[in-house]
Amino acid sequence: MRATPSPAPSDTIALQLDQISKHYGEVRALDDISFELRRGEFLTMLGPSGSGKTTSLRVIAGFVEPTSGRLTIDGRDMTGVAPQKRNIGMMFQDYALFPHMSVVENVAYPLEVRGLSRADRRKRAMEMLEIVGLAHCATRYPKQMSGGQQQRVALARALVFRPDIVLLDEPMAALDKKLRSQMQIEIMHITRQVGATVVSVTHDQEEALVMSDRIAIFKDGRLAQIGTPQDLYRQPNSAFVADFIGEANLLRGQLRQDGADLVLEGPGWQARLPAASAPAIPAGAAPCLVLRPERIGLAEAGSGPNTAQGVIEEKIYLGVEYRLLVRLPDGVVVQLRSRDVARLADLPVGSPITLGWAPEDIVLIPG
Protein backbone atom coordinates (compact mmCIF):
# COMPACT_ATOMS: atom_id res chain seq x y z
CA MET A 1 0.00 0.00 0.00
CA ARG A 2 1.27 3.43 -0.94
CA ALA A 3 -0.98 6.38 -0.18
CA THR A 4 -0.79 9.61 -2.12
CA PRO A 5 -0.26 12.63 0.15
CA SER A 6 -3.09 15.17 0.14
CA PRO A 7 -2.63 18.90 -0.40
CA ALA A 8 -1.36 21.06 2.46
CA PRO A 9 -3.68 21.72 5.43
CA SER A 10 -6.39 24.30 4.80
CA ASP A 11 -6.74 27.64 6.59
CA THR A 12 -9.97 26.52 8.28
CA ILE A 13 -9.58 26.16 12.05
CA ALA A 14 -10.63 22.63 13.05
CA LEU A 15 -9.67 22.75 16.73
CA GLN A 16 -8.96 25.57 19.16
CA LEU A 17 -7.80 25.43 22.76
CA ASP A 18 -8.22 28.80 24.44
CA GLN A 19 -6.51 29.26 27.82
CA ILE A 20 -7.19 25.70 28.93
CA SER A 21 -6.12 24.91 32.51
CA LYS A 22 -6.58 21.81 34.63
CA HIS A 23 -5.86 21.81 38.35
CA TYR A 24 -5.87 18.86 40.74
CA GLY A 25 -5.83 20.64 44.04
CA GLU A 26 -2.55 22.56 44.15
CA VAL A 27 -1.16 20.68 41.14
CA ARG A 28 -1.45 22.48 37.81
CA ALA A 29 -1.53 19.67 35.25
CA LEU A 30 -2.28 22.24 32.52
CA ASP A 31 -1.59 25.94 32.85
CA ASP A 32 -3.14 28.27 30.27
CA ILE A 33 -2.73 26.15 27.13
CA SER A 34 -3.73 27.88 23.89
CA PHE A 35 -3.24 26.75 20.27
CA GLU A 36 -5.15 26.24 17.03
CA LEU A 37 -5.17 23.33 14.60
CA ARG A 38 -6.04 23.71 10.94
CA ARG A 39 -8.21 21.20 9.09
CA GLY A 40 -6.04 18.47 7.59
CA GLU A 41 -3.09 19.28 9.86
CA PHE A 42 -1.06 16.70 11.80
CA LEU A 43 -0.02 18.05 15.21
CA THR A 44 2.10 16.10 17.67
CA MET A 45 2.18 16.95 21.37
CA LEU A 46 5.63 16.09 22.66
CA GLY A 47 7.20 16.32 26.08
CA PRO A 48 8.60 14.40 29.05
CA SER A 49 6.41 12.43 31.42
CA GLY A 50 4.15 14.69 33.45
CA SER A 51 4.50 17.62 31.05
CA GLY A 52 0.76 17.86 30.26
CA LYS A 53 0.56 16.39 26.76
CA THR A 54 -1.64 13.41 27.68
CA THR A 55 -3.90 15.55 29.85
CA SER A 56 -4.34 17.90 26.88
CA LEU A 57 -5.30 14.94 24.67
CA ARG A 58 -7.84 13.79 27.26
CA VAL A 59 -9.31 17.30 27.46
CA ILE A 60 -9.75 17.32 23.67
CA ALA A 61 -11.37 13.87 23.80
CA GLY A 62 -13.72 14.96 26.58
CA PHE A 63 -12.41 12.45 29.13
CA VAL A 64 -11.14 15.29 31.36
CA GLU A 65 -13.09 18.47 32.10
CA PRO A 66 -10.82 21.55 32.20
CA THR A 67 -10.82 23.76 35.28
CA SER A 68 -11.01 26.80 33.03
CA GLY A 69 -10.77 27.74 29.38
CA ARG A 70 -12.68 26.97 26.20
CA LEU A 71 -12.37 24.24 23.55
CA THR A 72 -13.97 24.47 20.11
CA ILE A 73 -14.18 21.99 17.24
CA ASP A 74 -15.06 23.44 13.82
CA GLY A 75 -16.19 26.59 15.60
CA ARG A 76 -18.57 24.75 17.97
CA ASP A 77 -17.99 25.12 21.70
CA MET A 78 -17.32 21.61 23.01
CA THR A 79 -16.42 22.57 26.57
CA GLY A 80 -18.45 20.25 28.79
CA VAL A 81 -19.78 18.16 25.87
CA ALA A 82 -19.68 14.38 26.44
CA PRO A 83 -16.98 12.40 24.54
CA GLN A 84 -19.50 10.44 22.43
CA LYS A 85 -20.98 13.69 21.13
CA ARG A 86 -17.73 15.21 19.86
CA ASN A 87 -17.31 13.19 16.61
CA ILE A 88 -13.72 12.33 17.53
CA GLY A 89 -11.89 9.18 16.46
CA MET A 90 -9.31 7.75 18.84
CA MET A 91 -6.57 5.18 18.48
CA PHE A 92 -5.33 3.82 21.81
CA GLN A 93 -1.89 2.50 22.74
CA ASP A 94 -3.11 -1.11 22.95
CA TYR A 95 -5.38 -0.72 19.86
CA ALA A 96 -8.41 -2.03 21.87
CA LEU A 97 -9.60 -4.32 19.06
CA PHE A 98 -12.47 -6.69 19.81
CA PRO A 99 -10.97 -10.21 19.76
CA HIS A 100 -14.30 -11.92 18.91
CA MET A 101 -14.89 -9.72 15.84
CA SER A 102 -13.27 -10.07 12.43
CA VAL A 103 -11.14 -7.26 11.04
CA VAL A 104 -13.97 -5.88 8.91
CA GLU A 105 -16.38 -6.10 11.86
CA ASN A 106 -13.93 -4.20 14.05
CA VAL A 107 -13.60 -1.43 11.49
CA ALA A 108 -17.36 -1.30 10.90
CA TYR A 109 -18.26 -1.13 14.60
CA PRO A 110 -18.32 2.70 14.89
CA LEU A 111 -20.73 2.76 11.94
CA GLU A 112 -22.98 0.22 13.65
CA VAL A 113 -23.10 2.44 16.73
CA ARG A 114 -24.14 5.31 14.47
CA GLY A 115 -27.01 3.31 12.99
CA LEU A 116 -25.81 2.68 9.42
CA SER A 117 -27.25 -0.29 7.57
CA ARG A 118 -25.26 -3.51 7.39
CA ALA A 119 -24.57 -3.04 3.68
CA ASP A 120 -23.34 0.54 4.15
CA ARG A 121 -21.21 -0.49 7.13
CA ARG A 122 -19.46 -3.22 5.18
CA LYS A 123 -18.98 -1.01 2.11
CA ARG A 124 -17.39 1.83 4.10
CA ALA A 125 -15.30 -0.58 6.21
CA MET A 126 -13.93 -2.33 3.12
CA GLU A 127 -13.12 1.02 1.51
CA MET A 128 -11.11 1.97 4.58
CA LEU A 129 -9.36 -1.39 4.72
CA GLU A 130 -8.39 -0.86 1.08
CA ILE A 131 -6.83 2.49 2.01
CA VAL A 132 -4.77 0.95 4.83
CA GLY A 133 -3.77 -2.01 2.63
CA LEU A 134 -5.63 -4.71 4.57
CA ALA A 135 -8.65 -5.55 2.40
CA HIS A 136 -7.26 -9.06 1.93
CA CYS A 137 -7.37 -9.56 5.72
CA ALA A 138 -11.02 -8.59 6.20
CA THR A 139 -12.16 -11.98 7.49
CA ARG A 140 -9.24 -12.57 9.84
CA TYR A 141 -9.35 -11.98 13.59
CA PRO A 142 -7.00 -9.66 15.55
CA LYS A 143 -4.98 -12.57 17.00
CA GLN A 144 -4.13 -13.62 13.43
CA MET A 145 -2.60 -10.20 12.65
CA SER A 146 0.88 -8.84 13.31
CA GLY A 147 1.39 -5.79 15.54
CA GLY A 148 1.72 -3.47 12.56
CA GLN A 149 -1.42 -4.90 10.95
CA GLN A 150 -3.39 -4.53 14.19
CA GLN A 151 -2.26 -0.92 14.34
CA ARG A 152 -3.60 -0.25 10.84
CA VAL A 153 -6.90 -1.91 11.72
CA ALA A 154 -7.19 0.37 14.76
CA LEU A 155 -6.40 3.38 12.59
CA ALA A 156 -9.00 2.33 10.00
CA ARG A 157 -11.60 2.04 12.77
CA ALA A 158 -10.72 5.53 14.04
CA LEU A 159 -11.10 7.00 10.52
CA VAL A 160 -14.04 5.08 9.08
CA PHE A 161 -16.82 7.37 10.38
CA ARG A 162 -15.04 10.50 9.07
CA PRO A 163 -14.43 12.17 12.44
CA ASP A 164 -13.73 15.89 12.83
CA ILE A 165 -10.54 15.11 14.77
CA VAL A 166 -8.46 11.93 15.13
CA LEU A 167 -6.53 11.44 18.37
CA LEU A 168 -3.53 9.09 18.53
CA ASP A 169 -2.32 8.12 22.00
CA GLU A 170 1.30 6.88 21.78
CA PRO A 171 0.45 5.01 18.54
CA MET A 172 3.88 3.36 18.16
CA ALA A 173 4.48 2.37 21.79
CA ALA A 174 3.84 -1.37 21.26
CA LEU A 175 6.05 -1.74 18.16
CA ASP A 176 9.73 -2.56 17.79
CA LYS A 177 12.07 0.06 16.37
CA LYS A 178 12.14 -1.20 12.76
CA LEU A 179 8.37 -1.56 12.53
CA ARG A 180 7.92 1.77 14.31
CA SER A 181 9.93 3.54 11.61
CA GLN A 182 7.90 1.85 8.86
CA MET A 183 4.56 2.64 10.48
CA GLN A 184 5.43 6.31 11.01
CA ILE A 185 5.46 6.75 7.24
CA GLU A 186 2.39 4.55 6.69
CA ILE A 187 0.24 6.42 9.22
CA MET A 188 1.39 9.79 7.90
CA HIS A 189 0.44 8.78 4.34
CA ILE A 190 -2.91 7.25 5.33
CA THR A 191 -4.07 10.23 7.37
CA ARG A 192 -3.03 12.64 4.63
CA GLN A 193 -4.77 10.59 1.95
CA VAL A 194 -8.10 10.81 3.76
CA GLY A 195 -7.54 14.44 4.78
CA ALA A 196 -7.72 13.67 8.51
CA THR A 197 -7.05 16.30 11.17
CA VAL A 198 -4.79 14.58 13.69
CA VAL A 199 -3.55 15.24 17.21
CA SER A 200 -0.97 12.71 18.37
CA VAL A 201 0.82 12.26 21.69
CA THR A 202 4.29 10.76 21.92
CA HIS A 203 7.50 10.93 23.91
CA ASP A 204 9.52 9.92 20.81
CA GLN A 205 11.06 12.99 19.18
CA GLU A 206 11.96 11.14 15.96
CA GLU A 207 8.34 10.09 15.57
CA ALA A 208 7.24 13.70 16.05
CA LEU A 209 9.77 15.04 13.53
CA VAL A 210 8.85 12.46 10.87
CA MET A 211 5.06 12.64 11.06
CA SER A 212 4.09 16.16 12.05
CA ASP A 213 3.16 19.35 10.25
CA ARG A 214 3.68 21.07 13.60
CA ILE A 215 4.89 20.01 17.04
CA ALA A 216 3.74 21.37 20.40
CA ILE A 217 6.37 20.90 23.10
CA PHE A 218 5.11 20.72 26.67
CA LYS A 219 6.97 21.36 29.91
CA ASP A 220 5.52 21.39 33.44
CA GLY A 221 1.94 21.81 32.21
CA ARG A 222 2.79 24.70 29.91
CA LEU A 223 3.28 25.02 26.17
CA ALA A 224 7.03 25.62 25.79
CA GLN A 225 6.97 26.18 22.01
CA ILE A 226 4.86 25.24 18.99
CA GLY A 227 5.99 25.27 15.37
CA THR A 228 7.07 23.21 12.39
CA PRO A 229 9.75 20.58 12.96
CA GLN A 230 12.18 22.80 11.04
CA ASP A 231 11.38 25.86 13.17
CA LEU A 232 11.82 23.99 16.44
CA TYR A 233 15.07 22.38 15.33
CA ARG A 234 16.63 25.49 13.82
CA GLN A 235 15.18 28.21 16.06
CA PRO A 236 14.39 26.82 19.53
CA ASN A 237 13.24 29.51 21.96
CA SER A 238 14.83 27.94 25.04
CA ALA A 239 17.58 25.57 26.11
CA PHE A 240 14.89 23.06 27.08
CA VAL A 241 13.43 22.98 23.55
CA ALA A 242 16.89 22.88 21.94
CA ASP A 243 17.91 19.94 24.10
CA PHE A 244 14.59 18.11 23.68
CA ILE A 245 14.38 18.26 19.88
CA GLY A 246 17.28 16.44 18.28
CA GLU A 247 20.80 16.45 19.66
CA ALA A 248 22.25 19.76 20.77
CA ASN A 249 25.39 21.16 22.34
CA LEU A 250 24.59 23.89 24.86
CA LEU A 251 27.44 26.21 25.80
CA ARG A 252 27.11 29.02 28.32
CA GLY A 253 29.65 31.80 28.44
CA GLN A 254 30.34 35.49 28.79
CA LEU A 255 28.70 37.85 26.29
CA ARG A 256 30.22 41.07 24.99
CA GLN A 257 29.70 43.36 22.03
CA ASP A 258 32.54 43.98 19.62
CA GLY A 259 31.53 46.57 17.04
CA ALA A 260 28.68 45.17 14.97
CA ASP A 261 29.16 41.67 16.40
CA LEU A 262 28.21 39.82 19.55
CA VAL A 263 30.85 37.54 21.03
CA LEU A 264 30.01 34.71 23.41
CA GLU A 265 33.04 32.93 24.83
CA GLY A 266 34.11 30.42 27.41
CA PRO A 267 37.26 28.41 28.26
CA GLY A 268 38.74 27.23 24.97
CA TRP A 269 35.97 28.48 22.68
CA GLN A 270 34.55 31.61 21.12
CA ALA A 271 31.45 32.27 19.00
CA ARG A 272 30.95 35.46 17.01
CA LEU A 273 27.80 36.48 15.14
CA PRO A 274 26.31 39.72 13.81
CA ALA A 275 24.43 41.56 16.55
CA ALA A 276 21.67 42.36 14.03
CA SER A 277 20.85 38.65 13.64
CA ALA A 278 20.86 37.88 17.38
CA PRO A 279 17.86 38.01 19.73
CA ALA A 280 17.62 40.70 22.39
CA ILE A 281 19.52 39.67 25.52
CA PRO A 282 17.95 40.95 28.75
CA ALA A 283 20.25 42.47 31.35
CA GLY A 284 21.52 39.83 33.75
CA ALA A 285 20.58 36.92 31.48
CA ALA A 286 22.87 33.92 31.02
CA PRO A 287 22.86 33.46 27.24
CA CYS A 288 23.28 30.01 25.78
CA LEU A 289 24.92 28.95 22.52
CA VAL A 290 23.21 26.07 20.68
CA LEU A 291 25.24 24.07 18.17
CA ARG A 292 23.88 20.98 16.43
CA PRO A 293 26.40 18.09 16.15
CA GLU A 294 26.13 17.88 12.36
CA ARG A 295 26.96 21.60 11.98
CA ILE A 296 30.35 21.27 13.71
CA GLY A 297 33.43 20.36 11.67
CA LEU A 298 37.18 20.18 12.02
CA ALA A 299 39.17 23.41 11.92
CA GLU A 300 42.78 24.50 12.11
CA ALA A 301 44.26 25.59 15.43
CA GLY A 302 44.40 29.37 15.75
CA SER A 303 41.91 29.90 12.92
CA GLY A 304 39.96 32.54 14.85
CA PRO A 305 36.44 32.87 16.20
CA ASN A 306 33.77 30.21 15.94
CA THR A 307 36.19 27.56 17.09
CA ALA A 308 36.70 25.41 20.16
CA GLN A 309 39.81 23.64 21.47
CA GLY A 310 39.42 20.26 23.09
CA VAL A 311 40.56 16.68 23.46
CA ILE A 312 38.91 13.64 21.85
CA GLU A 313 37.29 11.64 24.63
CA GLU A 314 35.38 9.13 22.50
CA LYS A 315 35.41 8.26 18.80
CA ILE A 316 32.67 6.06 17.35
CA TYR A 317 32.78 4.82 13.76
CA LEU A 318 29.34 4.82 12.09
CA GLY A 319 30.32 3.88 8.53
CA VAL A 320 29.80 7.11 6.59
CA GLU A 321 30.72 9.28 9.58
CA TYR A 322 32.37 9.44 12.96
CA ARG A 323 30.62 10.50 16.14
CA LEU A 324 33.06 12.34 18.40
CA LEU A 325 32.83 13.38 22.02
CA VAL A 326 35.27 16.21 22.66
CA ARG A 327 36.06 17.54 26.14
CA LEU A 328 36.67 21.29 26.38
CA PRO A 329 39.06 22.88 28.94
CA ASP A 330 36.25 23.50 31.46
CA GLY A 331 35.10 19.87 31.30
CA VAL A 332 32.08 20.42 29.07
CA VAL A 333 31.70 17.62 26.49
CA VAL A 334 30.75 18.59 22.93
CA GLN A 335 29.32 16.07 20.50
CA LEU A 336 29.77 16.26 16.74
CA ARG A 337 29.14 14.11 13.70
CA SER A 338 31.72 14.39 10.95
CA ARG A 339 32.04 12.77 7.53
CA ASP A 340 35.72 13.64 7.36
CA VAL A 341 36.36 9.93 7.89
CA ALA A 342 39.82 9.76 6.34
CA ARG A 343 41.18 12.59 8.50
CA LEU A 344 39.60 11.38 11.72
CA ALA A 345 40.75 7.78 11.23
CA ASP A 346 44.29 8.83 12.15
CA LEU A 347 43.33 10.76 15.29
CA PRO A 348 43.30 8.51 18.37
CA VAL A 349 41.32 9.12 21.54
CA GLY A 350 43.20 11.66 23.67
CA SER A 351 44.32 13.76 20.68
CA PRO A 352 43.92 17.53 20.82
CA ILE A 353 41.46 18.81 18.24
CA THR A 354 40.07 22.10 16.99
CA LEU A 355 36.40 22.32 16.12
CA GLY A 356 34.78 24.98 13.96
CA TRP A 357 31.38 26.15 12.78
CA ALA A 358 29.88 28.83 10.54
CA PRO A 359 28.31 31.97 12.10
CA GLU A 360 24.99 31.16 10.42
CA ASP A 361 24.88 27.83 12.28
CA ILE A 362 24.86 29.57 15.66
CA VAL A 363 21.62 29.76 17.62
CA LEU A 364 21.82 32.18 20.53
CA ILE A 365 19.24 31.79 23.27
CA PRO A 366 18.80 34.68 25.70
CA GLY A 367 18.80 32.58 28.83
Q: Domain ranges in the chain?
A: 13-244, 249-365
What CATH fold (topology level) applies to the domain 249-365?
OB fold (Dihydrolipoamide Acetyltransferase, E2P) (2.40.50)
User: Residue 75: how many CB atoms within 10 A of its CB?
Assistant: 9
Q: How far apart are CA 157 and CA 128, in angstroms?
A: 8
Nearest-10 Cα torsion for 259, 262, 265, 269: -90
Q: Could you give the CA distance from residue 190 to residue 196 in angstroms, rounded to a whole number?
A: 9
CATH architecture of structural domain 13-244: 3-Layer(aba) Sandwich (3.40)
pLDDT in tens, the chain (367 residues): 434 444 566 679 999 999 999 999 999 999 999 999 999 999 999 999 999 999 999 999 999 999 999 999 999 999 989 998 999 999 887 788 999 999 999 999 999 999 999 999 999 999 999 999 999 999 999 999 988 899 889 999 999 999 999 999 988 776 777 778 888 888 888 889 889 999 999 988 888 999 999 999 999 999 999 999 999 999 999 999 999 998 999 999 998 889 999 899 999 999 998 888 888 887 777 889 999 999 999 988 777 789 999 999 999 999 899 999 999 999 999 999 999 888 888 899 999 999 999 998 989 998 6
Instruction: At 88, give phi and psi (nearest 5°).
Output: -115, 130
Please name the residues in contact with 204: beta carbons below 8 A apart, sequence gap of 6 or more.
Answer: 172, 180
